[in-house]
């Protein structure tokens, strides 16, 4: 009778546990949380310091490029953009003293290299082992229907693991690689300091690139959850490098490449966040997109 009683108790306990959401259901919650969070960025300000280095096959640094510092700017429509405030080599930032709208327009093409909301909308996801108290989901790359917009093709080409905060379901970590060719593209660079018209350049975020994006929850100083904000506190990108490239373009500027046999281009950054009116300063480590 004793084993039978144990079996009955175990069955009753299992039935009392809440059913675990499927990967699709969790990603739907993550998408909703991600969109809600965007509305809270208006309560926060931040600065970003980026670095870029060309590495050889063994990981040795072959060339270091000027760092760039940017700040969040509020346009008249209430949305945010990032605009340059300083170059590491002393170059005067483009439109540094212009209006917020002018600065946002000048840097409007500088944003995340892929659409996170489209990645979270993937229907090819499975639950994964998690650690650190998060919920983990793996997303498999697929071929986007043809024809499809670039953003759709790129997101579909990404293989990623997404970690979610179990309380809010907002992503805390997204890391992965570009497994397909959907992010491969060319673009027309907008040069801020040269009058010449350049030939189209190949995107750095393409097949073979890897990335790591970390979020941190910035809690409102006055304990108002409505003003708290999940801020990207770290970004790391490792891009495959084409040795035929003679220049590196970023933030409206092109820099000469002085090495012949580089293997990877690595970007990292440090982000400092501050809540409007709170008077508190919060520091984080690392990088944004380009």
Most confident of 28-32, 126-130, 192-196, 286-290: 28-32
Rounded mean pLDDT, 74-83: 82
pLDDT at 126 over 80: yes
Close Cβ partners of 225 (under 8 Å, ≥ 6 residues apart): none
Nearest-angstrom CA–CA distance, 228 and 222:
10
pLDDT tens across 174-227, in order?
999 999 999 999 888 878 877 666 778 889 999 999 999 999 999 888 888 888
Residue 225 burial by Cβ neighbours in a 10 Å radius (0-12, 13-18, 19+): exposed
- How confident is the model at residue 110, as a pLDDT? 57
- Going by the DSSP 8-state scheme, the letter that residue 43 receives in this structure is G
- Can you give the residue ranges of every domain in the chain? 20-283
pLDDT tens across 240-281, in order?
999 888 999 999 898 999 998 999 999 998 888 877 654 434
Nearest-angstrom CA–CA distance, 119 and 30:
11
Indicate the range of 4-8, 237-241, 245-249 predicted with least confidence: 4-8
- Going by the DSSP 8-state scheme, the letter that residue 32 receives in this structure is H
């Amino acid at each position: 009778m004793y084993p039978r009683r144990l079996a009955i108790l175990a069955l009753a306990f299992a039935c009392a546990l809440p059913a675990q959401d499927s990967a699709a259901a969790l990603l739907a919650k993550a998408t909703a949380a991600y969109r809600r969070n965007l509305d809270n960025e208006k309560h926060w300000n931040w600065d970003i310091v980026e670095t870029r280095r060309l590495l050889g096959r063994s990981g040795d640094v072959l060339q270091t490029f000027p760092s760039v510092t940017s700040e969040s700017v509020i346009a008249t429509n209430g949305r945010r953009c990032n605009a340059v405030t300083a170059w590491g080599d002393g170059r005067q930032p483009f439109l540094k003293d212009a209006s917020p709208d002018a600065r946002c327009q000048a840097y409007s093409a500088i944003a995340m290299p892929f659409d996170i909301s489209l990645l979270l909308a993937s229907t090819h996801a499975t639950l994964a082992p998690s650690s650190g108290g998060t919920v983990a989901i793996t997303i498999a790359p697929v071929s986007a229907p043809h024809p499809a917009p670039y953003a759709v093709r790129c997101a579909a080409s990404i293989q990623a693991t997404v970690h979610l905060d179990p309380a809010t379901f907002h992503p805390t970590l997204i890391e992965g690689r570009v497994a397909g060719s959907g992010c491969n593209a060319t673009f027309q660079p907008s040069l801020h300091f040269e009058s010449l018209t350049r030939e189209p350049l190949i995107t750095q975020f393409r097949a073979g690139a890897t990335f790591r994006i970390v979020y941190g929850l910035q809690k409102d100083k006055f304990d108002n959850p409505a003003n708290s904000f999940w801020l990207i506190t770290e970004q790391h990108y490792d891009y495959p490098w084409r040795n035929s490239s003679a220049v590196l373009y970023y933030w409206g500027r092109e820099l000469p490449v002085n090495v012949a046999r580089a293997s990877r281009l690595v970007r990292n950054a440090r982000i400092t966040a501050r809540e409007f009116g709170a008077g508190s300063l919060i520091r984080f480590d690392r990088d944004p997109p380009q």
